[in-house]
Amino acid sequence: MTGTTAGTAGTSMRAALLREFGAPLEIAEVAVADPGPGEVLVRIAASGVCGSDLKAIDGKSPVVTHLPCVLGHESAGVVERTGPGVTAVKPGDHVVIAMNGPCGRCRNCARGRVHLCSGRARMTAIMGLMADGTTRLSAGGEVVRPYIGIGSFAEKAVVGEAMCVKVAPDAPLDLLALTACGVVTGVGAVLNTAAVEPGSSVLVVGCGGVGLNVVQGAVLAGATTIIAADVVESKLKLAERFGATHTVLADDLPAQVGAIVRGGADYAFDVTGVPEVLTKAFAATQPGGTTVMVGSPAAGRNLEIPPGTLFGSRRLMGTQGGDANPARDLPLLVDLYRRGRLDLEALVSERVPLEEINEAVAHVREGAVARSVIVFD
């Protein structure tokens, strides 16, 4: 599938285009065709800048193979138009755009593993195409792909109906946008993937935009010892604000954690995506402990775990974006936020207009911020 643009060019918008790997994003005018059957045109209100976007810019994302592409996948907005057959949302509805629009019919959906949906619409969305193998975006006659079927570094996006999760109209969309990726990944890794139980000890390695949400997920799960580890002191301060009971400037993690919880932590979450760090996090768990790899290591890297350590019933797990069921988990996160049990505001380091997206990307790259959020009028 190389991708073609289908339908009529219904409208146009400003979008940040990735035209060349490694190059700055370019603000350009992009034509947007009308939403097709089962599709929704959303006016984007806000979009967070995530590590996965940076990976795509660097040409290291296996799903960004065709350029130009509009990146951005952590977003919320207002429905502007719906395609034929759409019943879940209507124009004017406020929505968070989920990273995954499960089909509800494939074998994985039927087994309740909707985060692993293998339906056609999801499979094509991952590669930046609609279910019919085309895209709704073009620039100067050239086909433009939206990153994982979203492409929210743009004023508008055409997404699958199943990706639209309706939210209350009075909740701030610039904060709710964060639930779509960073928050659901971090909190979901704790509640869904590891299923941390009350009274547990939890180690979180890497306290950026996702790691902080692992910390607040651990608080929600009732963990009583939450150890935040990072190599940047200011991030540890922020982790305390999110509920970390202990902080360690990461050096010799097994020894540092062992000094706080004898024998090691019940749960460890590695959010760094660095195999050597994951190995240390794993070594910092006690027998019966569970380690979840949340950050994604670069392709081609291997993980070194002494096999003998798996005796003692240790578990090592991966997670697919917090193993989320968007229709269940995103409204839950919004509810928790509205009841003051989930801090979204403290995740936001800066709000910037689309024109400053390259500066925002640079800030995320420097690791200086939790989340930079692109906001639209």
Residues in contact with Zn ion by the rule CB under 5 A? 50, 52, 102-103, 106, 109, 117, 119, 181
Select 49 or 228, whichever has its Cβ closest to Zn ion. 49
CB of 193 to Zn ion, least distance (A): 16
Residue with tokens 């979840």: 292
Select 117 or 281, whichever has its Cβ closest to Zn ion. 117
CB of 252 to Zn ion, least distance (A): 30
Residue with tokens 């929600």: 220
CB of 131 to Zn ion, least distance (A): 12
Nearest-CA neighbor of 214 among 180, 183, 258, 193? 183
Select 192 or 286, whichever has its Cβ closest to Zn ion. 192
Select 78 or 123, whichever has its Cβ closest to Zn ion. 123
- Dist CA 39 CA 355 (whole Å): 28
CB of 272 to Zn ion, least distance (A): 15
CB of 48 to Zn ion, least distance (A): 7
CB of 56 to Zn ion, least distance (A): 10
Select 77 or 119, whichever has its Cβ closest to Zn ion. 119
Select 97 or 173, whichever has its Cβ closest to Zn ion. 97
Residues 6+ apart with CB under 8 A from 107: 118
Select 103 or 205, whichever has its Cβ closest to Zn ion. 103
User: What tokens does 100 get?
Assistant: 């995954």
Select 139 or 369, whichever has its Cβ closest to Zn ion. 369
- Dist CA 195 CA 34 (whole Å): 42
Question: DSSP secondary structure string, 201-253?
Answer: EEEEE--STTHHHHHHHHHHHT-SEEEEEES-HHHHHHHHHTT-SEEEESSSH
CB of 61 to Zn ion, least distance (A): 11
3-state secondary structure of 136: coil
- Dist CA 98 CA 264 (whole Å): 35
Q: Which three-class secondary structure string do you get for 263-321?
A: CCEEEEEECCCCHHHHHHHHHCEEEEEEEEECCCCCCCCCCCCCHHHHCCCCEEEECCH
CB of 222 to Zn ion, least distance (A): 27
Nearest-CA neighbor of 356 among 24, 19, 18? 24
- Dist CA 223 CA 200 (whole Å): 5
